[in-house]
Amino acid sequence: MYKFEFISADIQDKIHQGIYPVGRLLPSENDLAKTYDVSRETIRKAQKRLEDTGFIQKKQGKGAIVLDFARFSFPISGLTSYKELQESQHFQTATQVLSNKRVAAPDFLVGEDGVEAGEPFIHLIRAREMEGETVIVDHDYLRVSVIQGGVPDEIAEVSIYQYFEQELDLQISFANKEIVAKKADDIDQKEMAIGPDDFIIQVNSHVYLEDATFFQYTSSHHRIDKFRFAEFARRTAQ
């Protein structure tokens, strides 16, 4: 193990133990170099690893701020709204509606789950901001015949699931998901300040009501350096 790897692992442990609290600055490069008896260059390599894995965020002129690693951990399974995730993991967030318009069913949905060519959908695009940076772009296709029309922007900025369940009395039940890595598209690049050769993690979901009616396709684009997708797994008896 290289020295910077050991230092990175040791700082991670201290973050988990609360020695370096979330939201506070790490000791300066000079102080860390003295603590570990290494050069500042070695400390920079250790901090680069910590930044790449989401433990710290370096701020020019300020130093390295300790992040709450758990807040950027998203579950793979389950069917949870963004607002519910935000409330459960306590991260500061804002949502901006980029587009909200009625369109014909996209070709990739036609012929699936009873979707017909020309069937009206609402295409909703939203940018999700965390800690002052846009890190998610969500694309939703919502079946107009199920959601009884459109979704006002002021609702889309808060929670469409809350609206569907509490106002429209829809019983949202389950989803089929896939997770893929793809190059950032034009909207991703503009909103998330990344380049054309950068990759994003794309979570695609077909969402169904309790009676198995398909009503939503969502494609959630995540900045690859800001998230980890976590799930608890248990081996069953064979």
Q: Kindly report the CA angle at 85 between 83 and 86, in degrees rounded to 5?
A: 65
Provide the residue type at 129 as one letter. Answer: E
Q: What is the mean pLDDT of each run of 10 residues along the chain (238 residues)?
A: 88 88 91 94 91 79 79 60 58 86 97 94 94 90 93 93 92 91 95 94 93 94 80 60
Domain ranges in the chain with CATH number 3.40.1410.10: 71-230
Q: Residue 172 has what pLDDT?
A: 92
Q: Residue 13 has what pLDDT?
A: 86
The DSSP-derived string for the chain is: --HHHHHHHHHHHHHHHTSS-TTSBPPPHHHHHHHHT--HHHHHHHHHHHHHTTSEEEETTTEEEEP-GGGGEEESSS---HHHHHHHHT--EEEEEEEEEEEEPPTTTTTSTT--TT-EEEEEEEEEEETTEEEEEEEEEEEHHHHTS---HHHHTT-HHHHHHHTS---EEEEEEEEEEEE--HHHHHHHT--TT-EEEEEEEEEEETT--EEEEEEEEEETTT-EEE----PPP-
pTM, full prediction: 0.66
Superfamily name and number for 71-230: Chorismate lyase-like (3.40.1410.10)
Residue 90 and residue 232: Cα distance in Å, rounded?
Answer: 20
Q: Residue 71 has what pLDDT?
A: 52
Q: Residue 54 has what pLDDT?
A: 73
Q: Residue 87 has what pLDDT?
A: 57
Q: Residue 27 has what pLDDT?
A: 94
Domain ranges in the chain with CATH number 1.10.10.10: 3-67
Residue 182 and residue 167: Cα distance in Å, rounded?
Answer: 36
Q: Residue 151 has what pLDDT?
A: 93
CATH topology of domain 3-67: Arc Repressor Mutant, subunit A (1.10.10)
